[in-house]
Amino acid sequence: DTEVTQTPKHLVMGMTNKKSLKCEQHMGHRAMYWYKQKAKKPPELMFVYSYEKLSINESVPSRFSPECPNSSLLNLHLHALQPEDSALYLCASRQDSATSGNTIYFGEGSWLTVV
Amino acid sequence: GQSLEQPSEVTAVEGAIVQINCTYQTSGFYGLSWYQQHDGGAPTFLSYNALDGLEETGRFSSFLSRSDSYGYLLLQELQMKDSASYFCAVRDIGTYKYIFGTGTRLKVLA
């Protein structure tokens, strides 16, 4: 079972709203990722959590706030976004081991539109 | 830093064979992965090369040559459903960064 579940699938929010994207995996993976993807572009790394701790922040604006409540859950809190933040937001996870875990598995993504 | 370059678009006909190349510049990585992404969907894992050489998975094969900083994805017996974007990706040694190539849009014509 290589399932990563993201909710909501679609979200429309105003620039003054606060919303959250949620991601869940039950594969025992200890590395979790947030990516942003614009149309016809590759996924762009935003954040990486390893063992529930933030290990990488790719200079993402503070209006995006990640959270990892436990090893299965990853949230992305959104506040005061701009229209250019409209994109597909992808969550992914990876098994963290010395001998395996060089493949990441994506959720179906959350389509975000900022109006 | 790391960069992975791919051709932006490839077109082929049903039943044909197509090769999608990935050339990279990186200080060190664990292996080369390939992902497929249909319009409106999420990337799905296709293939992984930890070592140099060819890996075969059904109609898809992937190749890696670390000495040439080069890899490719080979798709055989093309079908219309193979029309999608394809990305190569690497995981950087020493960090948890998983970086994607520029992507190749494959169009399969009837």
Q: Could you write out the DSSP letters of every residue in A35-55?
A: EEE-TTS--EEEEEEETTEEE
| Spatial separation of the C-alpha atoms in residues A93 and B1, rounded to whole Å | 23
Higher local confidence (pLDDT), B49 or B29: B49
Q: Across chain B, what does the average pLDDT equal? A: 93
> Which pLDDT value is given to residue A101?
64
Flag if A45 and B45 touch (Cβ within 8 Å): no
- Whether chain B has a CB inside 8 Å of the CB on A50: the answer is yes
Q: Average of pLDDT values for B36-64?
A: 94
- Out of B91, B96, B99, name the one closest to residue A55 (CB): B96
CA diameter of chain B: 45
- Out of B96, B97, B103, name the one closest to residue A42 (CB): B103
Q: For residue A107, list chain B residues with Cβ-Cβ distance below 8 A.
A: 42
Nearest Cα neighbor of B64 from B53, B48, B79 is B53
- Whether chain B has a CB inside 8 Å of the CB on A108: the answer is yes
Flag if A42 and B87 touch (Cβ within 8 Å): yes
CA distances, A92 to each of A56, B55, B68 (Å): 14, 24, 30
Q: Residue B2: pLDDT band by 50, 70, 90 thresholds?
A: confident
Q: What's the pLDDT tens digit per position in B3-31? A: 899 999 999 999 999 999 999 887 788 88
Flag if B41 and A90 touch (Cβ within 8 Å): no
| Spatial separation of the C-alpha atoms in residues B94 and A103, rounded to whole Å | 16
| Strands of the A73-79 sheet, one edge to the other | A4-7, A18-25, A73-79, A64-70
Instruction: Compare all CA atoms of chain B with the CA of A30 and give the residue at the minimum distance.
Output: B96
Kindly tell me if the per-residue pLDDT of A37 is higher than 90.
Answer: yes
Give the distance from residue B32's alpha carbon to the nearest chain A alpha carbon, in angstroms: 9
Kindly tell me if the per-residue pLDDT of A1 is higher than 60.
Answer: no
**Interface size, chain A vs chain B, as Cβ–Cβ contacts under 8 Å:** 56
- The B-side interface with A (CB below 8 A) comprises 30-31, 33, 41-45, 48, 50, 85, 87, 89, 91, 95-103, 105
Integer Rg of chain A from CA: 14
Q: What's the pLDDT tens digit per position in A67-105? A: 999 999 999 999 999 999 999 999 999 887 655 567 889
Q: For residue B38, list chain A residues with Cβ-Cβ distance below 8 A.
A: none
- Out of A42, A50, A109, name the one closest to residue B42 (CB): A109
Q: What's the pLDDT tens digit per position in B84-95? A: 999 999 988 877
| Spatial separation of the C-alpha atoms in residues B56 and A32, rounded to whole Å | 28
Flag if A108 and B43 touch (Cβ within 8 Å): no
| Spatial separation of the C-alpha atoms in residues A67 and A107, rounded to whole Å | 17
> Which pLDDT value is given to residue A77?
98
Kindly tell me if the per-residue pLDDT of B1 is higher than 80.
Answer: no
